[in-house]
Chain A
């Protein structure tokens, strides 16, 4: 890669890294893991910079794929979300003073696949079909996971009920 092309790559990284990091953070829930995920995807982009027409779309897809691969290696996508989340895992409601923190804490209590479905649907704005493709599962699974996740959030935080979609957010 010549210096001019490398400069283009650097400009892309500087311009888009924050958004990419946020996506990765929303998916994996860990700041350091998110940085590793994004930097790994950017390294792959660097090697193919001259071949890729839409760098951001390329990097996002790599991020999705790599994160799903990590989940698969840890078998977390096969967890039964209903059994995995203990009822007594509720945060100390009195201690929660910030809605924003509240939402993030609640998401952390969902099973990984439920969290991923919500993040991809409501943060990444992907359709259910796209989510199914990203997570390598059926459309029905995406819908059921979304419904369970929303139902779970209603239980965990009844005061958020008004903000939650009524049908699991089918689209």
Chain B
């Protein structure tokens, strides 16, 4: 017997049967959880009614106003909910552990760093000891900032540049710039910058085609997608050397997401998203439904979250099987906070058309708000 067989036999001997009524117990438990939610809501309503009555009788000497009493909103239940379309029915939990922008500051967990920079678009990433902020503005064009925690923003680059990708350890970030101007052929260069010093660690040779970084394959390896030369792997430890990325590479469309283990790739061609398995002979393994967009792989590469017609969908990354779904109004791209938790910006459908907040949903558990609701456009969520 080998270890597998010994272990299997030992475990199987330890559990030979299922207790009677096991399914009934699970169903009762599920119903109890639902009832707890309802009780929490109903209890809140009752408490409000009692409080309102107390206000009416406690102090008759108070100056009377003829204005109708302000309605107290029903407090949100103290449990996670499945549906986040109505913010009044959702509790507020801890702030996101991912970076976000609100009210002129960059936030992550409980810390804030002033960021008084005007923008029309903001792409934000957390790096070791700070943030990388790519700002696009009608007047200034694109500006890449490195913002160390609590410090003033430092400009890394001004001018046209690609999206930014961050290394797994957060110590470096990669970005690309076009190096040709006017009507000449598109050319580009990829730069890797040290997130702690702001100094460039590595710049690729000029590509004879447009190029942009899509992923860090490891702390020192950048996957670069080029228009004409396919996908290349750069090692920042061996400047000047490139290698074709091992394994098959999808040829249709551009890469929309890559699983952290590098095995799965989501490509988009027009509005069609295809999931590829680079380790399989049959590369295309499944497709997102029409209308699904912004796919993101979980940190463990096992799940894929995306924006669907009625909220956020979570699917098995290998098979496309639905794992969970969270109804939400006009959700933004999902970001994984952990292997089972996504956060995204959504709007409230409770009549307050201006309300927007970061929502956190955990697979198998439910959802809560991660920020207080505020006016639309106030918050930007980063990675």
Contact = CB atoms under 8 A, between A and B. Distances in A.
Given A18-B15, A21-B15, A34-B15, A122 B321 contact: no
A99 B3 CA distance: 11
Nearest to B319: A54
Interface in B3-39: 3-4, 6-15, 17-19, 22-23, 25-27, 29-30, 33-34
Given A25-B15, A34-B15, A53-B321, A165 B29 contact: no
A100 interface: yes
Given A22-B15, A57-B321, A164 B29 contact: no
Contacts of B232: none
Contacts of A70: none
Nearest to B29: A43
Interface in B308-339: 316, 319, 321-325, 339
A13 B316 CA distance: 21
B106 to A, nearest CB: 26
B2 A163 contact: yes
B339 A136 contact: yes
Nearest to A46: B30
B320 to A, nearest CB: 8
B153 to A, nearest CB: 32
Interface stretch (A58-66, A76-84, A89-97): A58-66
**Interface residues on chain B, size class:** 35 or more
Interface string B281-323: 0000000000000000001111000000000000010010111
Given A21-B15, A31-B14, A65-B364, A123 B8 contact: yes
Interface in A29-74: 31, 34-35, 39-48, 51-54, 57-58, 61-62, 65
A169 B3 CA distance: 10
A2 to B, nearest CB: 13
B354 to A, nearest CB: 30
Nearest to A16: B18
A100 B9 contact: yes
Given A123-B7, A133-B299, A22 B2 contact: no
Nearest to A13: B23
A17 B316 CA distance: 22
Contacts of A42: 22-23, 26, 29-30
B364 A44 contact: yes
A117 interface: no
A17 B26 CA distance: 11
A123 B12 CA distance: 10
B4 A53 contact: no
B324 A163 contact: no
A22 B6 CA distance: 14
B18 A51 contact: no
A15 to B, nearest CB: 10
A149 to B, nearest CB: 10
Nearest to B5: A163
Contacts of B322: 51-53
A65 B322 CA distance: 18
B18 A25 contact: no
A103 B17 contact: no
B302 A133 contact: yes
Interface in B95-114: none
B2 A107 contact: no
A99 B1 contact: yes
B19 A35 contact: yes
Nearest to A101: B10
A119 B365 CA distance: 25
A34 B10 CA distance: 15
A58 B323 contact: yes
Contacts of A58: 323, 364
Nearest to B27: A46
Nearest to B340: A65
15 contacts: A21-B15, A22-B12, A22-B15, A41-B364, A43-B29, A44-B365, A46-B30, A47-B33, A57-B323, A65-B339, A104-B10, A133-B300, A133-B339, A134-B300, A169-B3
Interface of A: 6, 9-10, 13-14, 17-18, 21-22, 25-26, 31, 34-35, 39-48, 51-54, 57-58, 61-62, 65, 99-101, 103-104, 107, 118-119, 122-123, 125, 129-130, 132-134, 136, 160, 163-165, 169
Given A14-B23, A45-B26, 19 more contacts: A22-B12, A39-B22, A42-B22, A42-B26, A43-B30, A51-B322, A51-B324, A54-B316, A57-B321, A61-B323, A61-B363, A61-B364, A100-B10, A133-B300, A133-B301, A133-B339, A134-B300, A163-B3, A169-B3
